[in-house]
Structures are given as structure tokens and as C-alpha cells.
């Protein structure tokens, strides 16, 4: 059970009732305000400098107005219908958005420490700040993964908190590094600047954020800390891959090819990785399930079992992760189709990437069907979650590495 009733700290009071609701609506207003600026603002949407548009006076005005309207609406609604204050969505969502704002703030602070413009050249990117922060992120995430594994064998509260804490810090480092990278891409030349979701290296960092965040949200709500060893191991494997990518020059900031110069990239790619990241968490839950199943079959005396969530819980956590990932992935695929329709003249071309996205979608679709019918639970579905993630990995990595097609700009060279 959640022990929220026991410790009523300042932070937990911030995330319930009126304050949470007003903040929730303010954030929605902020997002709508920025979108409205992109669509109706006097200078419109500037593909080449959207980051600065958001962070400029103009962005502040549009976003701020939206936030004010949002919070005003929340005050009115809450007065008219006090029962609204008992809703859970706002309270569950706002801490994460707070975190995102903090991330932006940290990135803005870090940006002050960038080398002066005259020392920044496109040809030699070694003096930029983001790579060091990525290195820090790598260390934090690896440390977190190791600590989570250690926690299985020495399940003390300290270990657990250390693992969780470093995972959070890792997310912050990753977010700050990505935002800084966005900023840095503009430092070379305004034309080169672009959102940091344009190549494998960048989306990998993004995927760490999503995977860890989805997992941590589960950990917060369902006390499933033992699962962290599995999820963070997947992240750690990704970290090593990212280091390798950087070592072969994939970590450099490069200008966007014409096909990627579209606002769709900023929507389609992150949405896809919400799906991929959630599927990674489902895989982690599936692995945890299989390990526990094996341990139980061997007599169930292992000490590790004490910290594991029950089989039933792991099964449901895997399902929950898929329930987050599947709609996100579906939406991402639809957005991709919309982009394809706008850029290539057809929403579906049976391009290898598209086809593999369909395959991933079919695999998880079948997973969901199998769960509902047959009462398939447990072992078979745990294997399915693991296998499904392997298919997913092939979709976002293997296709780029081994198959050619319209998504070949994500290719390794």
C-alpha cells in the first residue's frame, strides 16, 4: 500500500487538491499557448529557431497567457464543482511536468557555461558542454542499474533510495543534455539548429528518459522496486550502445537532411519513443516475472523473493506498460503516416520502417488479444512481452542498420 497518508510533507500537499488542479490546468494552458503561437503567432512557426521562439518574450507572452487562462479556468471550475478537487489525474500528472520545467531551468543555467561563440566551430565540437553532461548521464544510469541489481541481494532502504535517486538524476542529466544539444546546434549556425531527435544517438538518450520515467512512475505507485534491476539493465545496455555510437562519430551534431525539416519530426519521433520506452518497461516486467517464476519453481526459498513484486503484480505491470505504450505507438504511427502523406505523397508505402512498425503493432495487438481471451496470463505473456521488445528493438535499430528504405537518414554510416 502507498504510505501517502503517513507522511504529509510539503511536497505531497502540493500534489493534491486545489494547487494540483490549478497547476495542471496552467500547464495545459501553457502548452496550448505555445501551440497557438506556432499556429497563429505574428511570426508564426519558425522551423529554424523554434526553441528560441518558445524561450523568447513572445513565447513567454503566449505561454503565460495560456497558463493564466488555464489556472483561471481551474479556479472557476473548482469553485463551481468542488468534487473536481478529488480527481486523481491532476495530482498524478503535475509532479512530472514540474520535473520537466525544472529540467528546462537547469538547461538554461547550464547554457550559461557554454564556451564563447567564437570558440565554437562545427568542424570541432569537442569543447561543447552537452557531451560532458551525457557522460555524467551515462555514469549515473550505469550506477543506478548496478545499484538496482545490488538492491535485489541487499534490499536495504538505503540501497533502494540510492538506486531510485540516481535514476532520477540520470533522467535530469539526459534531459538537460538534450536541451543543451538543441541550443548548441544553433550556436554553429541558425540554419543548422534543430530539435535533438534527429539521429540514433539523440533518440537513444530520449529513450533512456522515457524508459526510466515510465518505470519510476510505476515504482512510485506500485512499490515495484525489484523490477528496476531489469528495466535499468536494458537502459544500461542502451548506454553502452550510445557510447559506441558516439565513438564512431554518430554523436556529432549535423544539419538536417531536407526530408526531416518539418514540425512533424518534433511530434512523430518523441511519440514513437514513448511507445518504445514503455515496451522496454514491459520487457523488464516480463523478465522479472520469468525470474521470479523460476525462483519459485526452485522451491521459493531464495531471499531475493522477498523484495520481488508478486507474479500477479508483475503480470499486471507488464500489461500496464503495454497499455501506456500501445496507444502512444499507435498515435506515433498515425502521425508518421500523416507526415509521410505530406512529404512523400502517400500515407503508407510499405517501406521497411513502416512495415516493421506495423509488425510491432501487430505483435502487441496480439498480446492484448491474448490477454483478454483465453485468460492467457503469466508465463506465456511474460515471454511475449520480452519477445515483443526484441521485435521493437529490431524495428528502431535493426531496420536502420540492416535494411534500406525511406527512413535511411537514420542509418549508421
313 lies in the site for another protein, by CB under 8 A: yes
Q: Do the beta carbons of residue 187 and residue 172 sit within 8 Å?
A: no
407 lies in the site for another protein, by CB under 8 A: no
Q: Which is nearer to another protein, 202 or 315 (CB)?
A: 315
Distance CA 139, CA 134 (A): 9
Q: Shortest gap between Cβ of 377 and another protein (angstroms)?
A: 11
165 lies in the site for another protein, by CB under 8 A: no
341 lies in the site for another protein, by CB under 8 A: yes
254 lies in the site for another protein, by CB under 8 A: yes
330 lies in the site for another protein, by CB under 8 A: yes
Distance CA 58, CA 64 (A): 10
Q: Which residues contact 144 (CB under 8 A, 6 or more apart)?
A: 163, 166, 167, 170, 228, 232
The stretch among 12-20, 27-35, 77-85, 160-168 that binds another protein (CB under 8 A) is 77-85
Binding mask 371-390 for another protein (x = CB under 8 A): -xxx----------------
Q: Which of 12, 60, 127, 189 binds another protein (CB under 8 A)?
A: 189
Q: Which of 155, 347, 379, 397 binds another protein (CB under 8 A)?
A: 347
Distance CA 184, CA 125 (A): 10
Q: Which of 14, 100, 243, 338 binds another protein (CB under 8 A)?
A: 338
Q: Do the beta carbons of residue 174 and residue 181 sit within 8 Å?
A: no
Nearest to 187 by CA among 265, 140, 124, 241: 124
Helix, strand, coil share of the chain (percent; to 5): 75, 0, 25
Nearest to 326 by CA among 230, 208, 214: 214
Name the burial class of residue 13, with classes exposed (0-12), middle (13-18) and buried (19+) by CB atoms within 10 angstroms of its CB: exposed
Nearest to 242 by CA among 160, 139, 325: 139
Q: Which of 19, 54, 162, 259 binds another protein (CB under 8 A)?
A: 259
Distance CA 210, CA 265 (A): 17
186 lies in the site for another protein, by CB under 8 A: no
Number of residues that bind another protein (CB under 8 A): 65
Q: Which of 100, 149, 370, 397 binds another protein (CB under 8 A)?
A: 370
How is residue 255 written as a grid cell?
544539419
93 lies in the site for another protein, by CB under 8 A: no
- Measured in residues, the chain has a length of 413
316 lies in the site for another protein, by CB under 8 A: yes
Binding mask 109-128 for another protein (x = CB under 8 A): -------------xxx----
2 lies in the site for another protein, by CB under 8 A: yes
Distance CA 234, CA 296 (A): 24
Place of cell 514491459: 282
Q: Shortest gap between Cβ of 298 and another protein (angstroms)?
A: 27
Q: Which is nearer to another protein, 141 or 315 (CB)?
A: 315
Q: Which of 363, 382, 385, 386 binds another protein (CB under 8 A)?
A: 363
Q: Shortest gap between Cβ of 206 and another protein (angstroms)?
A: 22
* Distances from the Cα of 256 to the Cα of 196, 197, 202, 262, angstroms: 10, 10, 13, 10
Binding residues for another protein (CB under 8 A): 1-2, 5, 83-88, 122-124, 189, 191-192, 221-222, 254-255, 257-259, 261-262, 264, 313, 316-317, 320, 323-324, 326-327, 330-331, 334, 337-338, 341-348, 350, 352, 355-356, 358-359, 362-363, 365-366, 369-370, 372-374, 399, 403-405
Amino acid at each position: 500500500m502507498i504510505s501517502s497518508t503517513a507522511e504529509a510533507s510539503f511536497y505531497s500537499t502540493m500534489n493534491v487538491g486545489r494547487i494540483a488542479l490549478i497547476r495542471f490546468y496552467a500547464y495545459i494552458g501553457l502548452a496550448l499557448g505555445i501551440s497557438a503561437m506556432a499556429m497563429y503567432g505574428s511570426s508564426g512557426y519558425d522551423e529554424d529557431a523554434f526553441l528560441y521562439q518558445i524561450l523568447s518574450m513572445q513565447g513567454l507572452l503566449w505561454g503565460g497567457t495560456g497558463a493564466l487562462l488555464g489556472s483561471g479556468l481551474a479556479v472557476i471550475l473548482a469553485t463551481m464543482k468542488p468534487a473536481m478537487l478529488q480527481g486523481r489525474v491532476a495530482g498524478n500528472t503535475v509532479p512530472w511536468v514540474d520535473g520537466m520545467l525544472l529540467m528546462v531551468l537547469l538547461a538554461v543555467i547550464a547554457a550559461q557555461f557554454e564556451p564563447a561563440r567564437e570558440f565554437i566551430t562545427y568542424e570541432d565540437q569537442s569543447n561543447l558542454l552537452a557531451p560532458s553532461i551525457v557522460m555524467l548521464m551515462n555514469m549515473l544510469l550505469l550506477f543506478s542499474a548496478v545499484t538496482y541489481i545490488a538492491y535485489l541481494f541487499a534490499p536495504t532502504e538505503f540501497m533502494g533510495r540510492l538506486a531510485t535517486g540516481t535514476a532520477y538524476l540520470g533522467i535530469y542529466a539526459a534531459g538537460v543534455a538534450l536541451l543543451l544539444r538543441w541550443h548548441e546546434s544553433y550556436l554553429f549556425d541558425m540554419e543548422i539548429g534543430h530539435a535533438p531527435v534527429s539521429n540514433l544517438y539523440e533518440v537513444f538518450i530520449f529513450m533512456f528518459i522515457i524508459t526510466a520515467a515510465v518505470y519510476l512512475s510505476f515504482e512510485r505507485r506500485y512499490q515495484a522496486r525489484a523490477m528496476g534491476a531489469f528495466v535499468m539493465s536494458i537502459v544500461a545496455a542502451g548506454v553502452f550502445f550510445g557510447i559506441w555510437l558516439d565513438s564512431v562519430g554518430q554523436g556529432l551534431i549535423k544539419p538536417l537532411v531536407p526530408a526531416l525539416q518539418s514540425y512533424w519530426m518534433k511530434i512523430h519521433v518523441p511519440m514513437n519513443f514513448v511507445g518504445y520506452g514503455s515496451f522496454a518497461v514491459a520487457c523488464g516486467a516480463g523478465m522479472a516475472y520469468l525470474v521470479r517464476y523460476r525462483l519459485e519453481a526452485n522451491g521459493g526459498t531464495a531471499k531475493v523473493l522477498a523484495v520481488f513484486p508478486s507474479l500477479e503484480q508483475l503480470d499486471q505491470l507488464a500489461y500496464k506498460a503495454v497499455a501506456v505504450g500501445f496507444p502512444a505507438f499507435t498515435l506515433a504511427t498515425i502521425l508518421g503516416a500523416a507526415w509521410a502523406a505530406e512529404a512523400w505523397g502517400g500515407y503508407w508505402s510499405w517501406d521497411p520502417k513502416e512495415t516493421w512498425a506495423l509488425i510491432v503493432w501487430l505483435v502487441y495487438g496480439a498480446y492484448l488479444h491474448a490477454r483478454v481471451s483465453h485468460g492467457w496470463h503469466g508465463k506465456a505473456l511474460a515471454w511475449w512481452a520480452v519477445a515483443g521488445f526484441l521485435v521493437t528493438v529490431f524495428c528502431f535499430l535493426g531496420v536502420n542498420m540492416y535494411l534500406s528504405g525511406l527512413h535511411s537518414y537514420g542509418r549508421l554510416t
